[in-house]
């Protein structure tokens, strides 16, 4: 596919900014990233997809795109430390420069967090620090935004740390909360912002890395 380099086992220096995406469900942000990464002017490649859900749309998309996809979860590795080390080995084997969590419903283990410090980012469907933290995912976020009376919501890309949604913010994109919004209508509008913000942020990070 366009934008992908051959994964020759004897390659010493990879020639692109390699991105791994961790996703649990449909993987629409993954799809936005792979599409952006395949553009001629792109400075990054999505080269690895990891999911804790063997039947996820994210892994199906990886198969369709010829991207390496791996199922890693408590089923494949009941010991959390073994799961953590296996994920780290997969990232290193693929020469990953940046890890993106996009709808990934599990905490990342300490070994991966340490090895990829400041190189793991997440996309969150609200304007952090508002409406983040444990339990704040998916529909729950949009319900909380509407209950709060906020007139703005949006998407946030931030660094991943040991605690949910507490890492430094990298970029945000605002969307209006409209009269009559439901969690579903707000979610759809925020998702459009996510699909713009995440690829643009990854591209900026890749460009900064290669400059």
Average pLDDT in the chain:
92
Q: With beta carbons less than 8 A apart as the criterion, state whether 177 and 150 touch.
A: yes
Has residue 27 got a pLDDT over 60?
A: yes
pTM listed for this prediction: 0.91
For residues 127 and 27, give the distance between their C-alpha atoms in angstroms, rounded to a whole number: 21
For residues 204 and 209, give the distance between their C-alpha atoms in angstroms, rounded to a whole number: 9
| Domains of the chain listed by start with CATH number | 17-210 (3.40.50.170)
Q: With beta carbons less than 8 A apart as the criterion, state whether 96 and 65 touch.
A: no
- The continuous run of DSSP H or E covering 115 comes out as helix 110-115
Q: With beta carbons less than 8 A apart as the criterion, state whether 46 and 76 touch.
A: no
Mind telling me the catalytic residues?
Answer: 124
- Tens digit of pLDDT for each residue in 142-178? 999 999 999 999 999 999 999 999 999 999 999 999 9
Q: In terms of Cα–Cα distance, which of 25, 137, 48 is closest to 98?
A: 48
- Tens digit of pLDDT for each residue in 76-122? 999 999 999 999 999 999 999 999 999 998 999 999 999 999 999 99
Average pLDDT over residues 173-192: 98
């Amino acid at each position: 596919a366009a934008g992908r380099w051959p994964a020759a086992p004897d390659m010493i220096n990879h020639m692109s900014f390699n991105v791994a995406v961790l996703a649990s469900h449909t993987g629409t942000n993954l799809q936005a990233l792979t599409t952006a990464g395949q553009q001629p002017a792109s400075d990054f490649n999505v080269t690895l997809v990891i999911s804790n859900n063997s039947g996820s749309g994210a892994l199906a998309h990886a198969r369709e795109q010829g991207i390496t996809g791996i199922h890693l979860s408590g089923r494949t590795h009941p010991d959390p430390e073994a799961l953590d080390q296996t994920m780290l080995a997969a990232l290193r084997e693929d020469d990953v420069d940046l890890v993106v969590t996009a709808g990934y419903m599990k905490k990342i283990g300490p070994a991966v967090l340490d090895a990829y410090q400041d190189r793991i980012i997440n996309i969150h469907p609200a304007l952090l620090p508002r409406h983040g933290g444990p339990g704040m995912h998916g529909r729950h976020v949009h319900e909380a935004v509407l209950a709060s009376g906020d007139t703005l919501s949006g998407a946030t890309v931030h660094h991943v740390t040991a605690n949910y949604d507490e890492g430094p913010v990298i970029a945000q994109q605002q969307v209006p909360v409209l009269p009559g919004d439901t969690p579903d209508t707000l979610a759809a509008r925020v998702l459009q912002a996510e699909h713009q913000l995440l690829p643009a942020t990854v591209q900026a990070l890749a460009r900064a890395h290669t400059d």
